[in-house]
């Protein structure tokens, strides 16, 4: 049973969450996990000025996804940072190249799940994930979120991302906050939960 984690990250927060999601997937017996990143669209000079080029070196070893890579997965967990309350353009652009897969019903019945990162606490984590779900539903995917059996999302004694829609982190407006243990725990849970459900659907 194959789980693919397809993400975009500019400064590394979504990548850190993706690693934790992958750890969760690996806890499920028989689950194979592959991390892939979608192609960058921002020109090098702009990445350099914003400090993103340096940050992106940390995950430059992760292979770049092609739309057809999605076809042989049993579950796909997508990670994308928020841009104005929606997924980033790099991920949108990637998904907009999956029309061929859609025409062949290639993703119908696969598990789909989403996690995200925002700069601010109420900057659009939930809208980013639920609007992402619309695309997955057009593909006929079976949406899986983060059930309240993951009790870390009840946490009120510290600032924390995470909701029934999926794991999230809050990067801070200057990107200085990395995912907390609580948030990474939710990311691991999401990976494990998706893999467990995919395993049942595949019947393996
Ligand atoms: C153009 C742009 C728009 C953004 N819009 C939002 C937003 O609506 N809400 C928010 O909280 N953060 C917003 N951010 C901050 C990013 O979501 C944040 O940098 C990102 O989650 C960090 O994850 P990464 O390190 O994986 O790229 C925006 C950033 C950029 C560059």
pLDDT tens for 161-202 read 999 999 999 999 999 999 999 999 999 999 999 999 999 999
pLDDT, residue 85, reads: 98
pLDDT, residue 138, reads: 98
Burial of 75 (0-12, 13-18, 19+ CB in 10 A): buried
Ligand 1 centre distance from Cα of residue 129 (Å)? 14
Q: Which atom of ligand 1 is nearest to the CA of 50?
A: 31
Q: Is the CB of 14 under 6 A from ligand 1?
A: yes
Q: CB within 8 A of 73, min separation 6: which ones?
A: 2, 3, 4, 110
The arithmetic mean of pLDDT across residues 118-131, rounded, is 98
Ligand 1 centre distance from Cα of residue 197 (Å)? 30
What gap in Å lies between CA 195 and CA 1, rounded to an integer?
8
Tens of pLDDT, residue by residue over 46-78, are 999 999 999 999 999 999 999 999 999 999 999
Nearest CA owner, ligand 1 atom 15: 119
| Residue among 56, 55, 16, 17 nearest 39 (CA) | 56
Ligand 1 centre distance from Cα of residue 196 (Å)? 31
pLDDT, residue 204, reads: 59
CA 16 to chain centroid, in Å, comes to 10
Tens of pLDDT, residue by residue over 93-119, are 999 999 999 999 999 999 999 999 999
Q: Is the CB of 179 under 6 A from ligand 1?
A: no
Q: Is the CB of 90 under 6 A from ligand 1?
A: no
The arithmetic mean of pLDDT across residues 1-8, rounded, is 98
């Amino acid at each position: 049973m194959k789980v693919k984690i397809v993400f975009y990250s500019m400064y590394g927060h979504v990548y850190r969450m993706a690693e934790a999601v992958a750890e969760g997937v690996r806890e499920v017996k028989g689950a194979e996990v592959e991390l892939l990143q979608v192609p960058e669209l921002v020109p090098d000079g702009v990445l350099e000025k914003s400090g993103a080029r340096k940050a992106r070196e940390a995950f430059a070893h992760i292979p770049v996804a092609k739309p057809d890579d999605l076809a042989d997965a049993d579950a796909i967990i997508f990670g994308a940072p928020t841009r104005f309350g929606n997924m980033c353009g790099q991920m949108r652009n990637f998904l907009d190249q999956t029309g061929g897969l859609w025409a062949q019903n290639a993703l119908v019945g696969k598990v789909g799940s989403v996690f995200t990162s925002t700069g601010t606490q109420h900057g659009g984590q939930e809208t980013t994930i639920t609007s992402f779900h619309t695309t997955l539903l057009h593909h006929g995917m079976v949406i899986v979120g983060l059930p309240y059996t993951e009790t870390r999302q009840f946490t009120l004694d510290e600032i924390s991302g995470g909701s029934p829609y999926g794991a999230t982190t809050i990067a801070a407006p200057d990107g200085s906050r990395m995912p907390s243990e609580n948030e990474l725990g939710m990311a691991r849970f999401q990976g494990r939960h998706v893999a467990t459900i995919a395993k049942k659907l595949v019947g393996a």
